[in-house]
Structure formats: C-alpha cells, structure tokens
Structure 1
Amino acid sequence: MCWGLFKIYLLIIHQRKMKWWALVAVLLLIPDDQYVDGSRILFISAIASKSHKGFFTAVIDKLAKEGHQITIVSPYKPTKEKENVHEIVLSNVDITSLAQNVFEGDTMSGAKAIMTIAPKMCSDALGRKEVQELLNEKYDIGMLSIFLSDCFLSLFHRMEIPVIQISPTGPIGPIGALAGLPTFPSFVTNAFLQSFHPLTFTDRMLNALTDTVSTAAVEHVILPNMDTECRLQGLCPANMPSLNELKKNATVMFVNSVRYMESPPRPSMASIVYVGGIHCHEAKALPEDLEKWVAGAGEDGFIFFSLGSVVKPSTMPEEYRKVLVKVFGSLKQRVLWKWDTDTMEDLPRNVRLEKWLPQQDILGDPRLKVFITHGGALSTQESIYHSTPVIGLPVLADQMTNMAEVQNQGWGRMLKWRELTFEVLRDTIHTVITDEKLRAEVKRRSSLMRDTPQDLGQLVNYWVDYVIKHNGAHHLKSPFLTMPWYEIYNVDVWLTIAGVLLLLLLLVLKLFLMCLRCLTSRFKEKHD
C-alpha cells in the first residue's frame, strides 16, 4: 500500500492544483487490493552470453520500474547502476571464449565444449560465497534463465519460493518441452535446422530426430550430470528432488518470441508468456557528432554494419575484411562500421569506425538504407521493430537459422562468409536498398510487432505478481510434463486401433478363404 500512496503523493506534487478532498476521494474509491508493494525478486543467469543479458535486462528494467526489488546474479558487469536493482557479478564464468564462430572453426565444437563444462561451471558458480549468502535473504520469487543455470534450482528449493523460467529464445524443441508444450516437428522446425514450412518428408524426419535427440540430451544427460555434480559438491541437499523434477515445478516461462509473428502459427500453453521485443524502444536523436556525419551523407543515406557484442570484428580473416573495405569504398552511401579498434589503415573516406553505437537510435533513423548484421535474435527483432531491411552475415549459434528465416520471410538476405566476394556483396546491398517489395514486407512486419494487446512491461509485472499471489501457479502446469510420450501422442491408442483393424482384416480374410475352400469343394463334388 505504501508504494500506491507514494505514487499518489507524486501525482499531487505534479498536479499542484489538486484539492485535498480530491485526494480523499481517490483513496476511498481505489480498493485496498490495488495497492501492491514491490516484491523481492532473485534473478539468476549464471551462465549466459552478453546477448542473453540484453534480453534479461529489459525484463528486469520493467520490473524495477514498478517498484520490485531485484537481485541479479550474472557473469557480466552492469553498464550503470539502476534503482531497485542490485547485481552480483560472477567472475570467470564468461562462456564467450568457448563459443566458437565461423572465423575460428567449427561452431558445433564450441557448443559441445559449453555443454560438457556446464555442470561443473554451474555448481562452481552456485558455491560462490556471495551466492550462498543469498540464503540469508528473504525473496518472494525466483527467476531463472533456462540456459545451463539449472543447478540454481536447488537455491530456490531451499528458499521455498516459486520460480519463473525465462528463455532468451522462443518455445521450440526442448525449451517448449520444459514448459509443458507438446512438440510438433511436422511443421515447427528445430532451431538447429534451416528448413521451413511446408516441410518435405526428409525435413520432417530430420526435424523429429533432432527434436528427440536435443530433448533427450537435456533431460537425460545435461540435467542429470548437473544434478550429480551439485550433490558431489554438497550444494544440493540429499533429500532434494532431482533437478529434472524441480525444473518441471516451474510452471510459468517468459520467452523471447512474438507469438502472433511466429511462422507458421503454432500451439501454446497458458503458462508460456511471450515477451519478445520487450527490449525494443523508439529511436532517440543521434549524438551531435554522429548526427552531423549522417546528415553529411545527403539523400544517399548511410549503411550500418555490426557483428554484435560477442565476436570481435578484428578477428575476421583478412580476406573478408578486404572485401568489405573494397565494397564499402565503392558505395555512394556512407558506412557506419562497429569495430573494436580505433583505426584501420586502408579505411575508405566514406566509412566511419566506432567501438560502441546506440543501435536502436541508428536503426530508427529514416536515413538508414540497410543494416548489415550478424543476425542475433535481439538485432533481428530490433530491425523488424524499426522497419529496417537487413543483410545477414551470421557467425555463430542460432544466427544462421535467424537469417535463413529472414530471407525466407522476404525482408532481408543472407550471405555466407565463405561465399563473400566483391560482386556478391555489392549486388546484394544494391538489391536490398532498391527492392520496394522487400521494404514493404519489413514495414508490414513492424506494424504487426507493434500492434500488441498489452504493454509488455505490464505483462511481465502482471505474471510475476500472479505467480507470487497463487503460490507458484501450479494449476497452470501442463499434464505433458508427467505423461509418457506414447500417451501424449496417443501412440498406444493408434497401435491398438491398428491392431484391431488388422485382426478384423485377418478374420475377414480367413472367412473369405473358408468360403472359397467351401465353394471349391462343392464345385469339385459336383463335377466328380
């Protein structure tokens, strides 16, 4: 109630002409249950990439704005202090060095390395003194990243608080399964594959196998190994349920996906809350120096190129850098290039290097012609939000799939680094800039994304309050979580039906043969 009264007090200060009797009327008319004090939230993202934290930070900011007190545990230092947010930084838990990109070799080897080291890395992080001291604190609810931080479920279990899971991707494959969502590989493609609906028989076969293997890897390899490591280190009590069981107790999941933009549309559950694009915001004016530079481009406008926050651009092979420099120098547009060093020897006059840039302010600038991007999930969503067509040069993880989907949807193009040449890149830039159909498609998608039934900040706050109010909201738990796979998809039912039909067919066939033999026998007797 204190927070509600404080907001009314601020309103009075702002509206100085408000009479005392008006305040009394407001207090009498608003029911007591409308005043909700901010809750204490423990947010865990122990193993994550910088892009994950970008999404999580947007969710945290919305909660903090409404008065919730948030403690966040993550491997990355905050860029600035924020009101109602306390950060605990876990040093030496950064997985960036393990996440190999296309410049360094096989991207799958990096993923395997992360999966292998994750159980010990998670338990080591859980055992930190500053983390264990959190047990002395009182929290109302926990929020946990679904990305390899599952050993922290033991912390929430000991605190006896409800948990909301949060995913930096959409509810597909094993992520959807963890939220109690049945998988439909017949038309919902796995994030590891670059195939799109309608799927061929081969696509559906690969999709089903990939879904099965990835889900089994999570449930029968990664989580059990993490559980074993946690118990060996004495961080998970002996009488604690398994991490697999605890994970299924977290009924509500926030996912980084825009539900009404999923293609094709797919089933969902009441417990899955879609908050994709929550980090997007309207563009602000560019810094004065950058504004002058952009204005100097005139009617030709400018191009923005960024490989995100994980990969160092200077690590790219020299052959690729030279192609980029040659192409950029041949364009009539100016090029704003996010680069991690101050200078470049052969830098063309129309190209500007910057170590950090206000990406959304740039994407929302009407003078921007095209965004050349690595294709991360957040950058892809921001591009849609700001109606910016893209050219994708993916470097790791899900970026290949993201950009293949963009090209399939018709609002951008994807290029592969090994196929990068002067002609290919220059022609692609020209096509994307001049293709009116492509630009119309990204504007259409931007309109869809912005047309939301509820503000995402309000949605996040509603569900956090809901889970606290209803003691974990276990009534939303999907039966999918406890049913064997053959019951979920009625395999036993259809096998029984098929068996009965087969038995009937055999009986009919047997009767037919009996009748045939009988007729044959009579025919022989008649002619004998």
Structure 2
Amino acid sequence: MLVVWRSLGTVRAGEGSNATVTEMQSFWSRVLVLVLLSFVDPSHAYRALFLAPVASKSHKNFFSGVTQALAAAGNQVTLVTPYAPKRETPNIREVVLRDADLHDYFPNAFSGNIMAPPFIVMKGSFDVCLRTLASPEVQDLLKEEFDVVLLTSFFSDCYLSVVHQLKVPFIYVSPLGLVAPQADIAGCPTFPSFSPAPVFTFDHPMSFTQRLANTLGEVVASGVFRYLIGYVNDWTCRSRGLCPDDMPHVNDMRLNSSLVILNSVKNLESPVRPYVPGVIHAGGIHCKPAKALPQDLAQWVDESGEEGFIFFSLGSAVKPSDLPEKYRKILVSVFGSLRQRVLWKWDDDSMADLPSNVRLGKWLPQQDILSHPKLRLFITHGGLLSTLESTYHGTPVLGVPVFGDQIGNMMEVQRQGWGRTLRWGEFDEDAFRKTIYDIMGNEKMLDVVQKRSAVMRDLPLSPADEVTYWVSYIVRHKGAPHLRSPVFALRWYQLYNVDVWLAVAAAACLITYLTVCVCSYCFRSFKKVKKE
C-alpha cells in the first residue's frame, strides 16, 4: 500500500501549478486503485517468478515496469536477471545471474552487415540460456513455491523446463510487439497481407510484390523459430540433463502459456490487427512522468537559451566508441556548427576535438531529458524502448538505426510523420545538418507526435493497472483455460481454410470439367442428329 501511495506523488505539474488533463486522469486513476486495494485481502497476494535470463539492458527497463506494477499491488516478485538492480524495491527480490550479460556477445554494430549482429546475439543467447539454467541460483528456485511464472519470449525456451517442474501457469512477456514468428505463442492468427515484418520497411497498403516478400519472409522466419530453434533447444536441453524426461517437447510447451504481455501500445499500432483475449498490451509501462534533472545538467540545459538543446543517444545495445572515425568526425563537425547545445551519450568522459557546445555523459536520465521544454530534437538509434519514450513525452526524432528492428521502427516513425531516418551509408555533413534543421523547424511533426502522445496516454487503465489485473486473474482462475485461443488446436491450413478452399477449387474444377464434357457430348450428338 505504501508503494502505491508513493506512486501518487509522481504526477508532474504542468505550466505553473496546474497539472495537464492527462496527468490529472492518471492521478485519479491511481487514487481509485489505492481505494480498491484497501478492500483487498492481503492473503490473496501471490508469489510470482519472473524469468528474464536472456535480455538486453533496455529489455530490463520494460521487465522492471511489469515487475514494479505487480509488486506495488502487494505481490512478492522474484526477478531473474543478468543485471544488478539500481535500487532495492519493496516486494521485489532480484536474482542476479553471473556472466550472463548479453552485451558481451554484441559485435561491433558498425561492421557493415546490419543482419550479422542479430544472428550473433541469437547464437550467444543459446549459450546464456543453458548456462544460466544450470546455475545454482536458478536451480535453487525449483525448491521454492510460486503461484505463477512470467517468462521472457526472447530466446529463453530452455527455461520452459522451470515452468514444467514448478507446475504452475506461465505467462510470456515479449519485449517487442507480437512479431509474426512468435504469434503462435499467443494463439493469434497472422496476416502478412497487411502486417509487415519489422525487418521490412513496407508501407500500407502493400503491393503484390511486397505482400509476396512479406509472406515468404514470414514463412521462413516462422519455420526457423518454431521448428529449427525449438528442436535445437529441446535436444540440447535434454542432452545436458536440464530438461526432465517427462517434459513435453519445447515446441508444445511454448503453446501452453496463459497470457502474453506485449511491449506495444494497441491504440497506436498501424495498421490495426486482430488479437485474442489472452494478449495484453503494456507498451509504455516503463514510461514515467519526468523528474527534475540533476542540478549541474539542469543548469547546462537552462543556459542553452531560446535555441534549446539536442539529445543524441545510441541506446544501450550499441557501444558508442565503436562508431567509425569518419562518422564520429561528421557528428563532431555538424554538432559544432549548430546554434543548439548537444547532449551526447558517450562511453568516455572526454573527447579530444569536442566542440564547446557539446556535453558528454556516460549515463543520462533519458526520460527526464525527453520531456524537457528546451529539448528541440532527439537523435536516436531507434530501439523500441526509445521510440515509445519519445512518443510518450511528445518528442520528434531523427533516427540513425544500426541493426535489427531499429530500421523498421524508424521507417514507421517517418511514415507516421513525426521524424526522419538517415542510414549510415547516406551519412554526410550536408545531409545530416539539413535533416536536423528540417525536423526542428517542422511544426507539423511536433503536432503529430504530441497528438500521438495524447493517444498513448488516453487509456481506460494504465499499462501497470492492466498488467496487475490480468496476472492476478490468471492466478485466481488457475491459468484461465477458458481464455485459450482455438488457434492452438488448429494446423495452419485449417486456420486459414486452405484445405477448404482447395476442396472448393477441386470441386469447381471437377464441375467445370464435367460441364464441358456434357456440353461437348451434347454438341457432338446434335451435329450427328442434324447430319442424319
């Protein structure tokens, strides 16, 4: 209760002493939650185990949002993670895995091949999954009692062994949206005819060629994820003695989740897509009203005057110093020529040729920065977490994607009209400087992103309250099998009626053939009679 009450104090005032309408709605929503919780019997609280052994630092931001929401409702949550907590939080115990930092497997993202890093990380994730599963920290958890398990959908299939041994309902938590190769875990039908894969940059509606490429890409990706990776995980896990003999195949276990929590905002998805009841959208659950900047940074920002400042960050998955020298020089030259100050996230304290208007920082409070009234532009790598934060705080962006889904994220931002994208191969001083000024001088972009921000915040329940309710629902109803999608029981050709349409086509062909035969026979008979 104390945690929930403290959350009421996070509402940030707008201009002067008046809060915005959205912030007031959020405030009274939390008051309502507090009142409702006051009638809840503490004995109904549950013990949740959140397994996130394979994750990036940005993924943990989303996972922490889910964890904190459950803990604030009085539940005991154990989070298994490679990253030590920044601070202790009531009702949360973090089990930190040793030597499991996925960033150790990240190659130089600027090596030239944008598809290489994801595959290298994928390979490394298998090792992390199995190695951490065998660790004493994880094996000791099997001796404890839990009411529900939350499991990241990010290359953690070997941890289905824990789910099987604990014999409790489990929930998938996806740090992404519901990408096609993982749609089966939610029992959702997929439609490549209008829902492009993240690796593609197709606009809606897609042409025939784009739909063909998207469909074939989905078939290949689904085959790799559902079968190749599933069979490899299952065989490896059993051969190392980490998966019990009585455990169903990994590919079957994947289809037994009670719920899927997505890092996506449903009312901002475009084009919209159908979802089954077992899919919960929690995109932006980690987004918070801004706090004041640290004093020295606040002073530096305030001294930027009317011109304001620009924020540049490549996120946590990319090591800034891996930036090729030619690109670093372009950035230094362009930043030094701007009227604005530039705040640059960099992994060192200094830079020899740093312009006087540029400030470096190893760690920076990104959300507090994004909501600052003097911020003019966010230059980002385009990760999903940064994209959601930019939307939440109403900040236009310039995307400089490096690999993976970042490209698709930024192309979507450009299509929606609240940012621009520059590829590193197109990167030169003139193009970079011109794009910066084009975005900062574009009032329409600012208007678009602020409207999207309002839509993102305008929800009947906050993502935290939504997650809290549905996880409790799954616990109360012993996995809620009545929510189970019928898609789980159907093969792909049954789901899309392929067999039905083949039968209809075959029947139509047969009827056409018989009709032609009869007509031909009648015609020949008529000619014969006529000759006689």
- Tell me the TM-score normalised to structure 1 length: 0.92
CA 1:300–1:281 in 2, change beyond 3 Å: closer, same or farther? same
Tell me which of 257, 260, 264 is aligned to 1:253: 260
Per the TM alignment, residue 293 of structure 1 is displaced from its structure 2 partner at its CA by: 1.1
Letter of the 2:320 counterpart: P
The percentage of aligned residue pairs carrying the same residue is 47
2:158 alignment partner, one of 123, 148, 151: 151
Q: Call closer, same or farther: CA 1:313–1:115 in 2, change over 3 Å.
A: closer
Q: Residue 365 of structure 2 aligns with which residue?
A: 358
User: Paired residue for 2:114, among 94, 107, 111?
Assistant: 107
What is the distance in 2 between the residues matched to 1:483 and 1:402? 32
CA distance in 1, matches of 2:169, 2:231: 22
Which residue type is aligned with residue 105 of structure 2? L
8 Å CA contact 1:101, 1:395 repeated in 2: no
Structure 1 residue 124: Cα displacement: 1.7
In 2, the alpha carbon distance for the partners of 1:256 and 1:163 equals 17
Counterpart position of 1:421: 428
Partner deviation per Cα, 1:259-318 (whole Å, 9 max, x = no partner): 111100110010000000111111112221111111111111111111111212111011
Report the CA distance between 1:162 and its aligned residue: 0.9
Describe the shift of the 1:115–1:30 C-alpha distance in structure 2 as closer, same or farther (beyond 3 A).
Answer: closer
SS at match of 2:379: strand
Q: Write the deviation string for residues 181-212 of structure 1: whole angstroms up to 9, x where unpaired.
A: 01100001112212121011111111111111
1:34 to partner: Cα distance: 5.4
Does the CA contact (< 8 Å) of 1:173 and 1:191 recur in 2? no
1:423-438 matches, cutoff 5 A: 423-438=430-445
Name the CA distance, whole Å, in 2 between partners of 1:445 and 1:65: 28
User: Cα deviations across residues 432-490 of structure 1 (Å, max 9, x unaligned)?
Assistant: 01111111111111111010111221111111111111111122111212211110000
Post-superposition shift, 1:120? 4.1
One-letter amino acid of the structure 2 residue matched with residue 259 of structure 1: K
- The unaligned stretches of length 5 or more in structure 1 are 9-28
Distance 1:7 1:283, change over 3 A: closer
Mapping of 1:165-314 within 5 angstroms? Answer: 165-314=172-321
Tell me how many residue pairs correspond in the alignment. 502
Change over 3 Å in CA distance of 1:348–1:256 after alignment to 2: same
Counterpart mapping for 1:110-129 below 5 A: 110-129=117-136
Alignment correspondent of 2:514: 507
Name the SS of the counterpart of 2:315 in structure 1: coil
Q: Per the alignment, do residues 310 and 115 of structure 1 end up closer, same or farther by CA in structure 2, a change over 3 Å counting?
A: closer
Decide which of 450, 469, 480 is 1:443's aligned counterpart.
450
Counterpart in the other structure of 2:67: 60
- Note the alpha carbon deviations across 1:316-360, whole angstroms, 9 max, x for none: 011101111111111111111111111111111111111111111
The equivalent position to 1:465 in structure 2, one of 451, 454, 472, is 472
Provide the alpha-carbon RMSD of the alignment.
Answer: 2.0
User: Is residue 480 of structure 1 aligned with residue 487 of structure 2?
Assistant: yes
- Within 2, Cα distance between the matches of 1:437 and 1:373? 20
| Kept in 1: contact 2:107–2:120 (CA 8 A) | no
Letter in 1 for 2:246: N
Task: Give the counterpart letter for 1:350 in structure 2.
Answer: N
Cα distance in 2 for residues equivalent to 1:218 and 1:308: 26
**1:127 and 1:248 mapped to 2: Cα distance?**
24
Larger radius of gyration: 1
Q: Which TM-score applies when normalising by structure 2?
A: 0.91
Match of 1:137 in 2: 144
Query: Given that residues 231 and 237 in structure 1 are in contact (C-alpha distance below 8 angstroms), is that contact kept between their aligned partners in structure 2?
Result: yes
The 3 A distance-change label for structure 1 pair 223 and 360 is: same
Q: Is 1:495 paired with 2:502?
A: yes
Q: Tell whether 2:528 aligns with 1:518.
A: no
- Aligned-partner Cα distance in 1 for 2:214–2:61: 29
- Following TM superposition, by how much is the alpha carbon of 1:32 offset from its aligned partner in structure 2, in angstroms? 7.3
SS in 1 for 2:77: strand
Amino acid at match of 2:154: F
Q: Structure 1: how far apart are the matches of 2:277 and 2:443? A: 39
- Structure 1 counterpart of 2:409: 402
SS in 1 for 2:247: coil
* Displacement after TM superposition at 1:106 (Å): 2.0
- Aligned to 1:94, which of 101, 104, 107? 101
Q: Is the 8 A contact 1:120 1:226 kept in 2?
A: no
What stretches of structure 1 move > 4 A for 4+ residues in a row? 29-36
Check the 8 A contact 1:407/1:413 in 2, yes or no.
Answer: yes
**What secondary structure is seen at the aligned counterpart in 2 of 1:107?**
coil
Distance 1:436 1:514 in 2: 74
CA distance in 2, matches of 1:193, 1:70: 37
Measure how far apart 1:117 and its partner are. Answer: 4.4
1:134 is aligned with what amino acid? L
Give the Cα–Cα distance (whole angstroms) in 1 for the partners of residues 205 and 165 of structure 2: 47
